[in-house]
Amino acid sequence: MWPRSQPSRLHLLWCNKNNNGLCSRVTVRLSRSLRVRVFSLSTRYQQDQPDASESVKAIPYGELSIGVPTEVRTGERRVAITPQNAAVLLKKGFKQVLIEHGAGFQAQFPAHAYEEAGATLVNATRVWTDSNIVLKVRPPRLRSTTLSPNNFISGLREGSVIISMLQPNSDRYKNVIDTYQSKGLTSFAMDMIPRITRAQGFDVLSSMANIAGYKAVLEASNEFGRYMTGQTTAAGKVPPCKVLVIGAGVAGLSAIATARRMGAIVRCFDTRAATKEQIESLGAEAITVDMEEDGAGGGGYAKVMSKEFIEAEMRLFAKQCAEVDILITTALIPGRPAPRLITEEMVASMKPGSVVVDLAAENGGNCEPTVPGQLIHHKGVTVIGYTDLPSRLPTQSSTLYSNNITKYLLSMSPKEGHFGIDNDPLFSSDTDLVQLNDEVVRRSIVTYNGELLPTLPPIAPPAPAAPKIDAVKEAEVVALTPWQKTSHEVATLTAGMGTALALGKFTGPLFMSNIFTFSLAGLIGYRVVWGVAPALHSPLMSVTNAISGMVGIGGFFIMGGGYLPQTIPQALGALSVLLAFVNVSGGFVISKRMLDMFRRPTDPPEYPWLYAVPGLLFGGGYIVAASTGMAGLVQAGYMVSSLLCIGSLTGLASQATARTGNLMGILGVGSGVLASLAAVGLPMETLIQCLAVAGIGSTIGGLIGRRITATELPQMVAALHSVVGLAAVLTSIGSVMAAVNHLDALHMVTGYLGVLIGGVTFTGSIVAFMKLAGRMSSRPTILPGRHLINGGLLAANAATMGAFITAAPGAPAIAAACLAANTCFSFAKGYTTTSAIGGADMPVVITVLNAYSGFALVAEGLMLNSPILTTVGSLIGVSGSILSYIMCKAMNRSLANVLFGGISAPAKTDHKMVGEITKTTVEDTAQALKDAQKVVIVVGYGWS
């Protein structure tokens, strides 16, 4: 700092910027006794400046005392620090908190509460003389009064800090600022804190305006002669009160909410178009003038409107004043006198007994008859011009103000447990450049060690984004003419119909029947998923995963050997059934637990056990009917199963029917299994083996689903997906091996595809499980030449498929070798594609794998000529694909990239992330949650 003995100073505000957008540095030496200080409006430094962290002069909290004097201005009942925040400051490490006797008395904070918090009660003199930082609500008085007989500010030490509301842009407290300069104080104006996201916790104006809007309605109601809400009683009908609020800032919105809660009809006018949605969301009517002009200004405030707009505005107010009962005005632009919006003629036109509350009274008022600080009656209308509305709720306003000023003070901490003002000293000895890196501090600091800093202009509102010329040109090029659009649609329709014709010619009736079933089920799945709420996407995946456990039905067709399997295909069939029922049981249990998280204590009771009645009646009746002949029972069972599975997915569309959808899924799988057992016609010994294996699998799955914690549910869905994939692999291999001597082309193709899709699903789901469970790094594993590897694996799959179809019939060795190679290649491809995807994108991966498992069922259904597998597989495959598309759009991803493992870490660029990370403690987080009105918890998409 310069010596204070300098005879004169020249303050130059220089805002020229170089090509890099950084403020240049200037030092002008006029003589030995006169130097120029350059105040930089930029929040960034020149590149050759030292690092901020090295130049900040930080003072340990343990060396600083905080003083809180009594507020002595007329009508001021607030206190700057509450006992709760006094304890917070002491816990942070400040030496002491000095509270003047009686400081919190009018705010209903007794002295013993401060003592219990650890603060020290002292007289007024000690607050000023022994404090390094003084916290106040209003600026200090500089002349002796009855309440303040001494000028205690004279005892404040040079270099001390004082924080309060100050209004430095007006001349009201110019003498106070002059005193700060002469005393060499550093001062901050709480009412100059900018309204930006980072400063929301310090925003005193919003806190006090919220209280003022609330209290304005209460004051108006107290003076109004009848109810605010409408009533119809035996004594007569009372119409609801009509309220007009001018200005939809914080105070205006608070007034709207309060008046609406009291039953009034509320209207609101604001020049800013963006406030219309906020007004209507609170239940008020947004009224406008008949001309377009946006009143959004800097710092979240309104701007001065054009002459034509003001004239239209005044005509609107004149009309409204004749209709409403209560008028609340909040229009104010910082640094300017309050605009006069309501004339004496408008007030005179109001109904007798009406009330006007002018919240801009302290700056002159929006209403001409307003007398600041007083309640008057003007031609039968009560006009309230109180300037101390927050102080009329002193406990609440003191609590909020104390929270704001405490957080603001603690924010000026360059390192843990220290106080420092940005880059201290602000005036570098060799450059004399004001260096302020913190925009909040720079805009709210008034003086630094006696030096008056220039006030910055308000933050300009963001300019509307101009359309990119290139994007417009591209859109013009891409846009299709009606002829092109119709031609594309006709071409697509022709291709589809031609494909169906070709399939009908070169295949048989049996295959086309399954394709018909596949197409209809796919269309239903497509229509169903679009209506599912995003919050239910995870339960939907879990339910479809459980239904896909019907892949075990394929194992019924190759089981045999009596009580125990005797051949390898029979063993593979039994193992497939075991794994499938682990998935079915575990999937439905996990789905139930997920859905139970949405259940509220106030929800009506449910009786899920009643759904056992149709299950038992259908199962018992089916067994009795099958004992006397099958007739059409198999087809009836398949129909019931398909309809119940469709109903299950439909039920997952809303919270109200989601749990019913889960129960319908259980019934659908049960009826499908029963009908499939009837279709296979297993001998009694093999049937016992099948039921035993299914029972063991169901028990294992149920135990897993019940014992995992809530945080493990997502990764367990992925783990069960792997079980479905492995079951599909085992069933396809077992089926091929069991009929290797008489395989037809359809059986070979579908069997091979079942192994391929099931293998990718198996290893891909395991990788997803390990990443979600934290057992594998969530970072994308990018293999060198991974696209070449994936392409080679796909080519190897195609080559082995060609060899399999050509040589497999009648050649078990070749069939086994080709299927083994196909299995290995599929397992490898599942790993390489899924490991290349980051852990944050696993929800999308799981939906894709869910679709894969559905298509594996389709392949199995075509292989075994099982309509139920074809139907359910199509339903799951198509619905999973659409769900993947929906989630990709929500996460700004490409579905094509997901299908081919293209989601990976973004390419390295020179772009730097802009933002701020705030580290906190458990105690600070708890306090923030306590102070917050709304809390938003952001989790991974699909797990909410």
Element (H, E) at 486: helix 482-506
Phi–psi pair at 39, nearest 5 degrees: -95, 115
Helix 655-680 and helix 867-890: axis angle, to 10°?
A: 150
The answer to whether the Cα torsion of 557, 560, 566, 571 is positive or negative is positive
For strand 355-358 and strand 375-378, is the pairing parallel, antiparallel, or unpaired? unpaired
Whether residue 350 contacts residue 358, with contact meaning beta carbons closer than 8 Å, is answered with no
Tokens matching residue 1: 């700092």
Whether residue 869 contacts residue 673, with contact meaning beta carbons closer than 8 Å, is answered with no
Helix 713-738 and helix 842-864: axis angle, to 10°?
A: 20
The answer to whether the Cα torsion of 270, 273, 278, 280 is positive or negative is positive
SS (H, E, C) 578-639: HHHHHHHHHHHHHHHHHHHCCCCCCCCCCCHHHHHHHHHHHHHHHHHHHCCCCCCHHHHHHH
Other CB atoms within a 10 A radius of the CB of residue 151 amount to 14
- Fill in the amino acid letter for 259: A
Q: How far apart are alpha carbons 695 and 703 in whole angstroms?
A: 12
Q: How far apart are alpha carbons 30 and 52 in whole angstroms?
A: 29
3-state secondary structure (DSSP) of residue 573: helix
Distance of CA 594 to the CA centre of its chain: 20
Q: How far apart are alpha carbons 734 and 268 in whole angstroms?
A: 73
Tokens matching residue 183: 């005393």
For strand 445-448 and strand 231-233, is the pairing parallel, antiparallel, or unpaired? unpaired
Query: What Rg value do the Cα atoms of the chain yield, rounded?
Result: 38
For strand 29-31 and strand 34-39, is the pairing parallel, antiparallel, or unpaired? antiparallel
Contacts of residue 3, Cβ cutoff 8 Å, sequence gap at least 6: none
> Cα dist. 347→111, 251, 372, 410 in Å?
46, 22, 17, 47
Q: Quick one: which of 310, 320, 386 has its CA closest to 350? A: 320
Contacts of residue 843, Cβ cutoff 8 Å, sequence gap at least 6: 537, 538, 714, 887, 891, 940, 941, 942, 943
| Ramachandran bin of 808, using left for φ above 0, alpha for ψ from -120 to 50, beta for the remaining angles | alpha
- Fill in the amino acid letter for 880: G
Whether residue 846 contacts residue 717, with contact meaning beta carbons closer than 8 Å, is answered with yes
Q: How far apart are alpha carbons 891 and 897 in whole angstroms?
A: 13
Distance of CA 447 to the CA centre of its chain: 40
Q: Quick one: which of 57, 922, 931, 915 has its CA closest to 407? A: 931
Q: How far apart are alpha carbons 578 and 585 in whole angstroms?
A: 11
SS (H, E, C) 809-849: CCCHHHHHHHHHHHHHHHHHHHHHHHHCCCHHHHHHHHHHH
Contacts of residue 433, Cβ cutoff 8 Å, sequence gap at least 6: 23, 25, 26, 27, 37, 38, 40, 427
Element (H, E) at 713: helix 713-738
Residues known to be catalytic:
195, 200, 203, 206, 301
> Cα dist. 292→268, 313, 418 in Å?
17, 12, 51
